[in-house]
């Protein structure tokens, strides 16, 4: 498993995968400065030390798959 394979996963799914590898991650919660915490899907946004440290954030919009996400050159 690569660190990149955990990015964007729901927290519960990422922790389950890590535990299968014998890793119990330390979890850090982050949030947008003016947005209340809670109410969204908690997803992994940063992976450090081979999965031993995860940073997670709440997301209110579903994350689209790579096939669905089309920026058309705009950001």
C-alpha to C-alpha distance for 33 and 70, rounded to whole angstroms: 27
Domain count for the chain, please give it.
Answer: 1
Full DSSP string of 7-68: TT-BHHHHHHHHHHTT---EEEE---TTS-S-SSEEEEEEEEGGGTEEEEEEESSPPPPTTT
Nearest to 52 by CA among 24, 22, 11: 24
**Is 65 inside a domain boundary?**
no
**Is 24 inside a domain boundary?**
yes
**Is 75 inside a domain boundary?**
no
Q: What is the pLDDT of residue 34?
A: 66
**Is 41 inside a domain boundary?**
yes
pLDDT along the chain (75 residues), means of 10: 89 95 95 67 93 90 55 48
**Is 36 inside a domain boundary?**
yes
Q: What is the pLDDT of residue 40?
A: 75
Print the domain residue range for 50: 3-59
**Is 72 inside a domain boundary?**
no
């Amino acid at each position: 498993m690569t660190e990149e394979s955990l990015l964007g996963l729901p927290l519960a799914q990422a922790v389950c995968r890590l535990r299968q590898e014998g890793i119990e991650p330390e979890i850090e919660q982050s949030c947008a400065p003016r947005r209340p915490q809670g109410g969204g899907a908690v997803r992994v946004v940063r992976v450090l030390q081979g999965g031993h440290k995860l940073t997670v954030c709440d997301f209110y919009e579903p994350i689209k798959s790579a096939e669905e996400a089309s920026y058309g050159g705009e950001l």
